[in-house]
């Protein structure tokens, strides 16, 4: 038998505890992704005694601009015993945790369906804020506490696995970057005896980019990679292949430049391929990059790095030179790179056999990261299914 829905307001109460005596120092902000984050607010001259104290297992939320953002920011504090937060945020807690677990309630707030419902009830024009009374009148099913614990445990298993995978990806990425730096920046690649080259007397020669190992050279990016600049939208037709299939849907990080069925030219030469490094070349996100997993239309704001020999070497060459490359952007209010700047950017080009050795060494690391990323996608799908099923949970 399915549970009856209960109003949220029946199970929560507002809390308004101020930071009198400045007893709490840690200041947090609230993100639209429903997480607490270190505050970046300028608090010089601010009366911190007026800030609200939030304690473990209490919630903070924002009911402002819900319709505009299509989300209601709300987060549960579990990473600290106490903190302070802006007085603009309502703070509330569960009245009786033996009836409703805070973690279960937070799961409900995480659902996309909850955000849609909050948006529907928001009032006040385009920005649309949610009245507190309307928030309290929103409903959710509340099963037996034992059932709630079971659901939360299952959910946390998924969340923890995603976190572990992300940590592993970070460590693997750090390892690959460390190998690149050791070999191609510090010049401590293995010599013929398997010892670090430079520190064991490896011969160095002068170049326009400083000392480099003998047998290496100086060239430009276009010597090691093909750079495919994106194109501007033109006309009313979609970018389709010869079969009429629309080539759409690129990496979400660059949603401004990759969109569903955007109007592109019918020329299909400006496309990424699997394995390309797609780089943003204009605006505030200049320099950001993602790996391509398919054939995507390259918009005006991005380009694709396609290696002539080793994609792994090109990827880490770009990452290692990113900060310097950013100094070559033009435009004070809207920074960007043009194709010639990228093509003619000077780089050190190692001996061919070392590039091959690096590719062989790193490709296993990269493959492991790819498999972990695929698993994260599947876990996120499973997480979404579990959250959706909360609406029909049985006691």
315 with 379, same domain: the answer is: no
pLDDT of residue 265: 40
Instruction: With H, G, I as helix, E, B as strand and everything else as coil, classify residue 27.
Output: strand
| % of the chain with per-residue pLDDT over 90 | 74
Q: What is the CATH number of the domain that holds 271?
A: 3.90.220.20
Shared domain for 342 and 371, answered yes or no, is no
Do 338 and 304 lie in one domain? The reply is yes
Same domain, 45 and 131: yes
- pLDDT at position 179 is 97
Distance CA 154, CA 197 (A): 51
Question: Is residue 103's pLDDT more than 70?
Answer: yes
CB of 328 within 8 A of CB of 274?
A: no
- Considering the domain architecture, whether residues 221 and 330 belong to the same structural domain is answered as yes
> Which of 114-128, 201-215, 244-258 is predicted least confidently?
244-258
Split at pLDDT 50, 70, 90, the class of 340 is: very high
* Mean pLDDT to the nearest integer, 249-261: 37
CA separation (Å) from 132 to 10, 91, 114, 136, 328? 13, 11, 15, 6, 50
Residues 212, 251: Cα–Cα separation, whole Å: 37
For strand 217-220 and strand 346-349, is the pairing parallel, antiparallel, or unpaired? antiparallel
Beta bridge partners of 238: 263
Domain count, the chain: 3
* Per-residue pLDDT at 334: 83
Residue 81 structural domain: 5-142
For the whole model, what pTM was predicted? 0.80
Q: What is the pLDDT of residues 141-180, one digit of tens each?
A: 999 999 999 999 999 999 999 999 999 999 999 999 999 9
98 and 80 assigned to the same domain: yes
Instruction: Say if residue 42's pLDDT is above 90.
Output: no
pLDDT confidence of residue 262 = 38
Could you tell me which residues are beta bridge partners of residue 231?
299
Q: Tell me: do 333 and 238 sit in the same domain.
A: yes
- Asked whether residue 12 falls in the same domain as residue 52, the answer is yes
Helix axes 352-389, 311-326, angle to 10 degrees: 80
pLDDT tens string 359-387: 999 999 999 999 999 999 999 999 999 99
Q: Which of 91, 122, 142 is the last residue of a domain?
A: 142
């Amino acid at each position: 038998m399915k549970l009856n829905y209960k109003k949220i307001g029946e199970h929560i109460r507002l809390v308004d505890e101020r930071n009198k005596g400045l007893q709490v120092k840690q200041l947090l902000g609230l993100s639209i992704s429903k997480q607490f984050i270190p505050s970046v607010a300028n608090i010089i001259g601010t009366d911190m005694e007026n800030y609200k104290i939030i304690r473990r297992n209490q919630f903070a939320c924002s009911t402002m601009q819900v319709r505009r953002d299509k989300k209601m920011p709300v987060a549960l504090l579990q990473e600290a015993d106490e903190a302070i937060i802006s007085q603009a945020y309502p703070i509330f807690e569960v009245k009786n945790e033996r009836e409703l677990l805070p973690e279960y309630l937070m799961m409900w707030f995480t659902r996309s369906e909850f955000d849609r419902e909050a948006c529907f009830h928001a009032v006040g024009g385009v920005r649309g804020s949610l009245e507190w009374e309307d928030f309290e009148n929103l409903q959710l099913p509340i099963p037996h506490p034992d059932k709630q614990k079971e659901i939360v445990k299952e959910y946390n298993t998924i969340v923890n696995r995603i976190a572990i995978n992300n940590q592993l990806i970070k460590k693997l990425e750090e390892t690959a970057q460390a190998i690149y730096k050791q070999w191609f920046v510090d010049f401590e690649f293995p010599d013929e005896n398997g010892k670090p080259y430079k520190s064991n007397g490896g011969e160095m020669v002068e170049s326009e980019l400083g000392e480099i190992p003998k047998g290496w050279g100086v060239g430009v990016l276009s010597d090691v990679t093909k750079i495919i600049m994106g194109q501007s939208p033109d006309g009313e037709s979609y970018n389709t292949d010869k079969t009429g299939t629309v080539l759409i849907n690129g990496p979400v990080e660059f949603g401004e430049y990759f969109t569903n069925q955007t109007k592109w030219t019918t020329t299909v030469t400006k496309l990424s391929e699997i394995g390309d490094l797609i780089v943003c070349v204009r605006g505030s996100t200049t320099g950001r990059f993602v790996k391509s997993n398919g054939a995507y239309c390259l918009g005006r704001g991005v380009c694709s790095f396609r290696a002539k020999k080793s994609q792994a070497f090109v990827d880490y060459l770009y990452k290692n030179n990113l900060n310097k490359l950013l100094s070559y952007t033009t435009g004070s209010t809207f920074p960007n790179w043009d194709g010639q700047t990228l093509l003619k950017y000077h780089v050190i080009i190692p001996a061919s056999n070392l590039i091959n050795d690096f590719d062989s060494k790193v490709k296993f690391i990269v493959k492991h990261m790819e498999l972990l990323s695929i698993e994260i996608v599947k876990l996120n799908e499973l997480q979404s299914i579990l959250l959706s099923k909360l609406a029909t949970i049985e006691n």
